[in-house]
Chains A and B, each alone.
Chain A
Amino acid sequence: MVGDPLLPSPHLRRRRRVERVVRRGLALTASISVVVTVAIALSLLRPAIDFFREIPIGEFFTGTEWSPLFSPSQRQFGVWPLLTGTLLVMGIAILVAVPFGLGAAVYLSQYASPRVRGIIKPVLEILAGIPTVVLGFFALYFVNPEIVQRFWPVGRVGTFSALAAGLVIGIAILPTMASLAEDAMTAVPVSLRDGAIALGATRREVSTKVIFPAALSGIVAAIVLALSRAIGETTIALMAAGSNPRFTADPGQGVQTMASFIGFAGIGDQPTGSTGYKTIFAVGTLLFLITFFLNMLSVRIVRRFREAYE
């Protein structure tokens, strides 16, 4: 009876049970990220909805003055200064991270000898591991006084500037950008590269005409991820861009970003339930929506530009 091959193994039920437990356990771990995301959205949403009961949504999205933490007769709830401040800092960061990140990626994947690669890669990883608070100090005490204040051609630069914050945020996201783009480029089938070289293409031609188009979806995804990180970066903006929400496009001025406003307001003590407290959630929701939208966009772009070779 034991040896009858047509009957189920005596351990089958137990093995099935184990299988079921493992499957459920793994499903649980996978669902946690979904649960947490939904929970964050919900926890942001309730105070944000309360906020818009008090402050007209039109005032929030059309106003160009932002001073929500002052006394009721003085406060203004126009979010534009925070939006332009965020865009300004993000724009500068992207101008640093994209060209340098892509350049590094092309060099590492196409040109660098294994020895050089063995040096540059770990250094990039070290850069990625520097805490943002250290980079914030670097922006405030080195980049701004030694570089921005000295070389910025238009007008006078104060202690805090969007430029210093943007440059250093660019440095902070550079390793992510470089390493994701490099992954995308190395993932291009070797046969394509070898074929192009066999046809007499130079390395530059291989990079720009073969590798780059083939890796485009991965590169775009890397750029969008870097954008999201630049928008959400709090500590560096809080330390180096100041706390005055100016409605300006001048990188030499100090600005406040959405993330640094949240950090700033969180440091002071806003009584729970006050308008100032709800403002934090309203700005948080807006930030969440913007990054959410960017991530959706990146998913669509990746789908659209993917080139399948198999």
Chain B
Amino acid sequence: MRKQRWVTFVVALTALAIVAAACGGDDGGASDLSGTIKIDGSSTVTPLVALAAEDFQAENSGVKVTVGTSGTGGGFEKFCNGETDFSMASRPIKDVEVAACQAKSIEPLELIVANDGLSVVVNPQNTWAKCLTVEQLKKIWEPGSKVTNWNQVDPSFPNQELTLFGAGSDSGTFDYFTDEINGEEGATRTDYNPSEDDNVTVTGVAGDLGALGYFGLSYLLENATKIRGVEIDGGGGCVAAGTDTVQAGTYKPLGRPLFIYTKTDAAKRPEVKAFAQYYFDNQNAITEEALFVPLTDEQVAEAQAELDKIAAV
């Protein structure tokens, strides 16, 4: 789903670029910023950054923003090679990556851009699955899993056939869920109803007592009457999926912060700093439109402090 939206954004972005070029840039933007901002990295973060880039370019016609999707790891490789100004990441940077950056005298600077949460959902008439552990989810979803009945998940669950719904293999949701639950990105059983459109999963789970599905948290919040969220026990007790638990970092492992990284040299350039500032000024609208969980005030303040630090350098 997210990736599809992203395709739309890129199309819109290209269209905008063409329009901007056609206008000659003399009347479009009010600012006199110019230059090119190069961004690459995680496809999960892309919708956020692409949305910001679209609006930012509309306001600053002299600035060109390119957004690539090489994945978090691939993004850091380019970033630490000095090829990009921002690197989008769905996890914090690793020590080896920091070392690789420092070898090229690049000091990565972490900015949190949104909170991401996945929800596991069941039919509202399902009375037994209140809370599932990560181990149970793994038992259900791991490659080659033969679990077809709820009583195989837990002997206390009723004899009820299990129908599975989930993300299609093209989406960031799929990568995140398989990575956290099955321990490897892309590793999953394949005999379920995959869909790139999360509304299909809503329909599927809503119409089937034995159904279990997963998707981005926003779909649970939007369809709270048709489906029910399952609490997740990641080892520290059952936690319900919600904006608050995701923001607080207690909804583990299906809640996580998302980042962009920049470097001091780049952040000193006015257009780069303006873009970062633009993002944090509009993060509420952007995260909402891209179907993520917004940052808390503290998170914004923290990111803002990081940004201001560079300005002072």
A residues sitting closer than 8 Å to B (CB atoms) are: 65, 67, 69-71, 73-76, 140, 144-145, 149, 155-156, 158-160, 242-244, 246, 254, 267-270
* A227 smallest CB distance to B (angstroms): 27
User: In angstroms, how far is the closest chain B Cβ from the Cβ of A275?
Assistant: 12
**In the bound complex, what is the Cα–Cα distance between A73 and B178 (angstroms)?**
14
- Cα(A140)–Cα(B200), bound, Å: 11
A244 B208 Cβ-Cβ under 8 A = no
CA distance A53 to B209 in the complex (A): 43
> Do B197 and A71 touch (CB < 8 A)?
no
Q: Which residues of A contact B168 (CB under 8 A)?
A: 69, 268
The one of A75, A76, A158, A268 that contacts B208, using a Cβ cutoff of 8 Å = A158
Is residue B283 within 8 Å, beta carbon to beta carbon, of the partner chain? Answer: no
Q: Which residue of A lies closest to B171 (CB)?
A: A268
- Indicate which residue in A76, A155, A159, A270 contacts B190 across the interface (CB closer than 8 Å): A76
B206 touches which of A149, A156, A159 (Cβ 8 Å): A159
Most buried by A among B185, B190, B194, B206: B190
Q: Which 8 A-B pairs have the closest CB atoms?
A: A71-B186, A67-B190, A159-B207, A158-B208, A268-B170, A244-B193, A159-B204, A268-B196
Cβ contact within 8 Å between A144 and B207: yes
Q: Give the residue name and chain of the B residue nearest to A156 (CB).
A: B161
B37 at the interface (CB under 8 A from A): no
Partner of B210, one of A65, A75, A156, A267: A156
A44 to B3, CA, bound (A): 27
Complex alpha-carbon distance, A268 and B171, angstroms: 9
- Report the minimal beta-carbon distance from B228 to chain A, rounded to whole angstroms: 16
Contacts of B200 in A (CB 8 A): 243
Chain B residue with the shortest CB-CB distance to A81: B191
* CB-CB under 8 A for A243 and B3, given A69-B169, A74-B188, A159-B211: no
Can you list 5 A-B pairs with a CB-CB distance of less than 8 A?
A149-B207, A159-B207, A243-B200, A267-B4, A268-B168
Which B residue sits closest to A247, measured CB to CB?
B191
B195 in contact (CB, < 8 A): yes
Complex contact A74–B207 (CB within 8 A): no
Give A78 Cβ to nearest chain B Cβ, in Å. Answer: 12
Q: How far is the CB of B272 from chain A (nearest CB, A)?
A: 29
Kindly state whether residue B157 has any CB partner on chain A within 8 Å: no
Within B130-177, the residues touching A (CB, 8 Å) are 143, 161, 163, 168-170
Would A70 and B193 count as touching, CB distance under 8 A? Answer: no
Residues of chain A lying within 8 A (CB to CB) of residue B204? 158-160, 242
Q: Give the distance to chain B from A170, nearest Cβ to Cβ, in Å.
A: 22
New A-B pairs, 10, CB < 8 Å, besides A268-B4, A268-B170: A71-B186, A74-B143, A160-B193, A243-B194, A243-B195, A246-B191, A267-B4, A267-B196, A267-B197, A269-B3
> Using Cβ atoms and an 8 Å threshold, which residues of chain B touch A75?
190
Name B178's closest neighbour in chain A (CB-CB): A71
State whether A269 touches B169 (Cβ < 8 A): no
Residues of A with C-beta under 8 A to B193: 160, 242-244, 254
Shortest Cβ distance from B296 into chain A, in angstroms?
Answer: 33
Decide yes or no whether B192 CB sits under 8 A from chain A: yes
- Chain B residues positioned under 8 Å from A269 (CB to CB): 3-4, 7, 170
In the bound assembly, the distance between CA atoms of A231 and B205 in angstroms comes to 28
* CA A71 to CA B169, docked complex, whole Å: 8
CB contact under 8 A between A74 and B190, given known A243-B195, A268-B169, A269-B7: yes
Separation of A269 and B3 alpha carbons in the complex (Å): 8
Check A244–B188 contact: CB distance below 8 A: no
Which one, A67, A73, A145, A244, contacts B207 given CB within 8 A? Answer: A145
- Inter-chain contact A140/B203, CB cutoff 8 Å: yes
